[in-house]
Amino acid sequence: MRISLFLLLTITSLHSFAQDQFAKAYAQIVTEVNQNSNAYTNLKQATESLGHRLTGSEQGEKAEKLAFDLLKSYGYDVRFQPFQMVSWQRKSLTLTIANQQVKAVALAHSPIEARTESSLVDMGNGLENDYMGKDVKGKTVLVYLQLLPGSAPGTKNLHRSEKTAIAIKHGAEAIVFVNAVPGGVLLTGTASITGDLITIPAACIGYEDGMAIKARLQKGDMLSAAMIMKNESARVNARNVIATLKGKSKEKIVVGGHLDSWDLATGAIDNGIGSFAVIDMARTLKRIKVKPKRTIEFVLFMGEEQGLLGSKAYVADAAAKNKLDDIAFMLNFDMTNAPTAFHSSREEMQNLYRDWMKQLHSVDSTFHGKVSFGAGLHSDHQPFMLVGLPYGGGAGGILPNNAGAYYHSDKDVFSLVDKKGLEQTVMLGAALAYSLANTAQIPAHRLSDGAIKDYLERNGLKTPLQVSGEWRWE
């Protein structure tokens, strides 16, 4: 009985010591970010001096060097991780519907050259069920980018690349997406699942034009669509940027965000607010002289927009070196703004997360949200998740200035950025990275292959992964 009591008192004492240690570190992080954060000014400089950060372009290469130099200036051991990919850049596009030219933008990885003319058919949301009983072979399909109002309850949307894959499977000659954002906003992004060129041209038109065309088709008008498109593509070298804060064990925490952007604007929101927050998390932890138990790697991924190519290269490299098990946890910051709590893909983290949130709230009441759990696709956490690794990030935040409406568009500019929200991301990310790097044990472990399958099915990810060709189970 005395031994048990002694052990209980010892455990309680150690837990209290850990809480005090974490609270002290959180207070240092909050103070450092409030007083000295460079995230806002660094992002402003990047958008003004570089413009966009398209992977494979001159600006993309300059962005890689800028991130490298910033991290180096903060005292980090920094390296490039090179990988090869297929670059894509738009040249020209003319879209004519019913003999009227319609303002449009090409979706990435459309063919180098395409000239099509065919009947236009409305395929609604562009999901597999929308094609049942319909012949679209040799035709141009019109597809809503999001889910149409009035869609059946429980309908799950797919990524534009997955909708394009469905159109190709059914023999469509071309695909035209209708953006869901009013005001004539044109959205770009990849229409390819793999990052390789697709076989049909894909374009996006504005909401007002698209809904007017849909109305005519629903009335029974027979409309034709003609597309003349030219693009450029070549295999290029790209580089992830990796800064290492060395720990005492071989285990490591990966803190990532994609540095690249599309070419229509400066990518301030997607993903300037994420990638430059990651850079400032690194600066913050270095400035307060953290000496972590686990190594922390801050990774600025390139090629995310073209198909998660930088994060896939990172995971493939770790697998080739038999070092996947060294990765204890991955944090991803993609369009994260003003988070109020922690998120994880794995519910095993809930007790730790709640303890850490209490400590963080005690030093800054801004962080008062509920921890959240769940899994999704289409950002740099995905390659980590597909090999069974736990991931997380921020929860509870919202994008500033209606910025979500301008995702992947020519309106994604620095004036949308909120300084306070950006710095809040830095605080929460630095605190979470510190906690994961220093906690005694991380209860969420890498899953076995069979457990990964079950996990993905439970989270409703089987269908989109099947569409994308990334479902490797029978």
Residues 334 and 249 in one domain: yes
Could you please report the per-residue DSSP string of 181-221? Answer: STTT--B--B--SSSSPPSS-EEEE-HHHHHHHHHHHHHT-
Q: Which domain holds residue 140?
A: 99-222
pLDDT of residue 20: 82
Q: Give the pLDDT confidence score for residue 474 in this predicted structure.
A: 85
Is there a single domain that holds both residue 305 and residue 385? Answer: yes
The mean pLDDT of the chain is 95
Q: Is 206 inside any structural domain?
A: yes
Last residue of a domain, one of 222, 243, 274: 222
Tokens 């597309």, located at residue: 227
What pLDDT score does 13 carry?
A: 44
Q: Is residue 241 one of the residues assigned to a domain? A: yes
**Residues 142/122, Cβ–Cβ less than 8 Å:** yes
In a domain, 273, yes or no: yes
DSSP string, 9-44: HHHHHHHHHHHHHHHHHHHHHHHHHHHH--HHHHHH
Number of separate domains in the chain: 2
- Distance CA(354)–CA(344), nearest Å, equals 12
One domain for residues 410 and 343 = yes
User: Could you tell me what percent of the chain has a pLDDT over 70?
Assistant: 96
Residue-wise pLDDT tens digits, 430-446: 999 999 999 999 999 99
The SS3 assignment for 86 reads: strand
Instruction: Judge if 464 and 391 occupy the same domain.
Output: yes
Residues 73 and 210 in one domain: no
How far is 148 from 125, CA to CA, in rounded Å?
Answer: 6
- Residue 7 banded pLDDT, cuts 50, 70, 90: low
pLDDT band at 10 (very low <50, low <70, confident <90, very high): very low
- State whether 420 and 460 are in the same domain: yes
Query: Once rounded to an integer, what is the mean pLDDT over residues 282-290?
Result: 98
Q: Does residue 264 or residue 1 have the better pLDDT?
A: 264
71 inside domain: yes
Please report which confidence band the pLDDT of residue 11 belongs to, taking 50, 70 and 90 as the band edges.
Answer: very low
DSSP type of residue 124:
T
Based on the domain organization, do 109 and 74 belong to the same domain? Answer: no
Q: Examine the pLDDT at 377 and tell me if it is beyond 90.
A: yes
- Give domain status of residue 79, yes or no: yes
Q: How far is CA 360 from CA 112, 261, 363, 435, in A?
A: 51, 32, 6, 11
Question: Considering the entire predicted model, what is its pTM?
Answer: 0.93
pLDDT in tens, 148-177: 999 999 999 999 999 999 999 999 999 999
Q: Which amino acid is at 410?
A: D
> Mean per-residue pLDDT for 218-226?
98
* Domain termination residue (choose one: 194, 222, 250): 222
User: What pLDDT does residue 5 have?
Assistant: 57
Residue 440 to residue 314: CA distance in whole angstroms: 26
Contact 139, 121 (CB under 8 A): yes
Answer for the pair 412, 269: CB distance below 8 angstroms, yes or no.
Answer: yes
Among 198, 128, 211, 141, residue whose Cα is nearest residue 174? 141
Per residue in 264-273, pLDDT tens?
999 999 999 9
Query: How confident is residue 393, by pLDDT bands cut at 50, 70 and 90?
Result: very high
pLDDT of res. 171? 98
Each residue's pLDDT tens digit, 36-65: 999 999 999 999 999 999 999 999 999 999
Q: Are residue 193 and residue 245 in the same domain, yes or no?
A: no
Strands 391-395 and 327-332 turn out to be: parallel
Which CATH number fits the domain that encloses residue 378? Answer: 3.40.630.10
Q: Are residues 77 and 188 in the same domain?
A: no
End residue of a domain, out of 173, 201, 222: 222
Considering the domain architecture, whether residues 170 and 289 belong to the same structural domain is answered as: no
For residue 429, the model assigns a pLDDT of 98
Question: Are 266 and 340 part of one and the same domain?
Answer: yes
- Any domain includes 14: no
Same domain assignment for residues 350 and 462:
yes
> 3-state SS of the chain: helix, strand, coil percent to 5?
40, 25, 35
pLDDT digits (tens, 9 = 90+) for 235-271: 999 999 999 999 999 999 999 999 999 999 999 999 9
CATH code at position 114: 3.50.30.30
The answer to the question of residue 251 being in a domain is yes
What confidence tens digit (pLDDT) does each residue in 289-307 have?
999 999 999 999 999 999 9
Q: For residue 392, tell me if it sits in a domain.
A: yes
Separation CA 189–CA 173 (nearest Å): 19
Q: Which residues of 421-433 are buried (b: 16+ CB within 10 A; e: fewer)?
A: bbbbbbbbbbbbb
| Long-range own/partner contacts, residues 31-38 (CB < 8 A, 24 or more apart) | 32/284, 32/287, 32/288, 33/280, 33/284, 33/423, 33/426, 33/427, 33/430, 34/423, 36/287, 37/280, 37/284, 37/423, 37/426, 38/70, 38/279, 38/280, 38/283
